[in-house]
Amino acid sequence: MKNNDRSGFLLTKGEPELEKLVRETLDDALKTVKRNTKRFNGNNNYPVQVYKNGVYDETDGARDCWTQGFWPGQLWLAYEMTGDEYYREIAEKYVGHMFDRAYNNYMLDFHHDIGFLYTPSCVSAYKLTGNETALRAAKIAAWSLSRRFRPKGEFIQSIGNEFDENSYKFIADTMLNLPLLFWATEETGEPMYAERALKHLNTTMKYMVREDGSSFHHFRMDRATGEPVKGFTWQGYSDDSCWTRGHSWIVYGLAIAYGYTKDPEIYKNFCRVTDFFLNNMPLDPEDLVPYWDFHFREGDVERDASAGIIVCCGIMEMAQFVSPEDEKLKGYIEKAKKMLKNIIERCHVRSERGEEGILEHITDALPQGVGEVCEPYGDYFFIEALIRAITPWKSYW
């Protein structure tokens, strides 16, 4: 299982100008986090979609939203970096709310986004402070996620119940919910969690990732036989295109899975999907903010900076475990440096603007009418990327 020693790899090592930029950006981002605590203060209130006029929509734990774990995650990142108990006190309130949600099984049987909810909010709390309530909540969440595994087809069903033919499917996003299962095996000693995660990963690579390294967003399976039916999209441009952020979940998910397993086949697949991502960026070699779908290579088209940041995190994760002499990895690292710098300079919402968002130019779901905005998950992964670029960060995932 995963080696929890802190990594010796730092993206900014030997790059003083980049390190200075990253540190200044992180300091500024944490100013926004601190200001946001005045509104989102642990009283079961979370920033979620929609973002308008520099302000997030607000919800409580009685409304299910897949992004609710990312605000507590930002608080734990801020606490880890500053040691300020102020962040810990607020974050621990959210741990209590997340435990209540898990204990009462609120919506945990309906979708796969349990890893997004509980890894940044509770696994982080337990790893940083030994919080027993967070541990109990994360264990319950992992058990709930494991129950969505379907033996017929060997995948974790993304949404709905197993008796609905149209819901008998999995999606790219699940790849970054799998870490909760790998963690659960590591924490409990129960192999079932990791076994189901690996089966889902293998099914994803077999059916969702195309021969050229691109990916579908959704993939439907036959409920009666478990055989593949078809791939399609929901948030991408078309069924035949490759939705950028969905692909980024696969990149980062494979990197994390490799950290737990050291399976060379996973590294091979990581290279396949990462090559596709990096080889299909905008045609302008100085432009490293991805378009929202790989169908686009140029023009005045919406971007998704969060996809680029998630891939940067994936490359930094993989760099902990692969030889620095690996030629593929060296190329990925150089591209990650440039992409991180590009995104900082073009997409960071500086604190003096007075907005609640930290990373802009994120296209959440363009076919559903949500264009370029800020998003809580974008803010979280932006801060995570900044931290792990300059510190030997111990992953929450």
Q: Is the peptide bond before 251 cis (omega within 30 degrees of 0)?
A: no
pLDDT in tens, 54-75: 999 999 987 889 999 999 999 9
Q: How confident is the model at residue 2 (pLDDT cuts 50, 70, 90)?
A: low
Number of residues in the chain: 397
For residues 282-317, b (16+ Cβ closer than 10 Å) or e, as one string? Answer: beeeeebbbbbbbbbeeeeebbbbbbbbbbbbbbbb
User: Angle at Cα 65 formed by Cα 95 and Cα 141, nearest 5°?
Assistant: 45
Asked if residues 250 and 228 have their Cβ atoms less than 8 Å apart, the reply is: no
Sequence-distant contacts of 228-236: CB under 8 A, at least 24 apart? 228/153, 231/207, 234/171, 234/365, 234/367, 235/364, 235/365, 235/366, 235/367, 235/368, 236/293, 236/295, 236/367
Give whole-number Cα distances, 277 to 47, 126, 139, 211, 338, in Å.
Answer: 29, 33, 33, 14, 14
Task: Express each pLDDT in 242-276 by its tens digit.
Answer: 999 999 999 999 999 999 999 999 999 999 999 99
Task: Give the separation between CA 148 and CA 333, rounded to whole angstroms.
Answer: 35
Angle at 290 between CA 356 and CA 24, to 5 degrees: 45
Q: Does residue 171 carry a pLDDT above 90?
A: yes
Q: Measured in Å, how far apart are the chain's first and last C-alpha atoms?
A: 13
Interatomic CA distance for residues 141 and 161, integer angstroms: 17
Q: From 89, 97, 148, 149, select the one nearest 118 (Cα to Cα).
A: 97
Sorting pLDDT into bands at 50, 70 and 90, what band is 1?
low
Estimate the crossing angle of helix 376-390 against helix 305-319, to 10 degrees.
30
Enzyme catalytic residues: 113, 173
Q: What is the mean pLDDT of residues 71-85?
A: 98
pLDDT confidence band for 287 (50 / 70 / 90): very high
Spatial contact of 145 and 123, defined as CB atoms under 8 Å apart: no
Which H or E run includes 149?
Answer: strand 149-150
Mean per-residue pLDDT of the chain: 96
312-334 mean pLDDT: 96
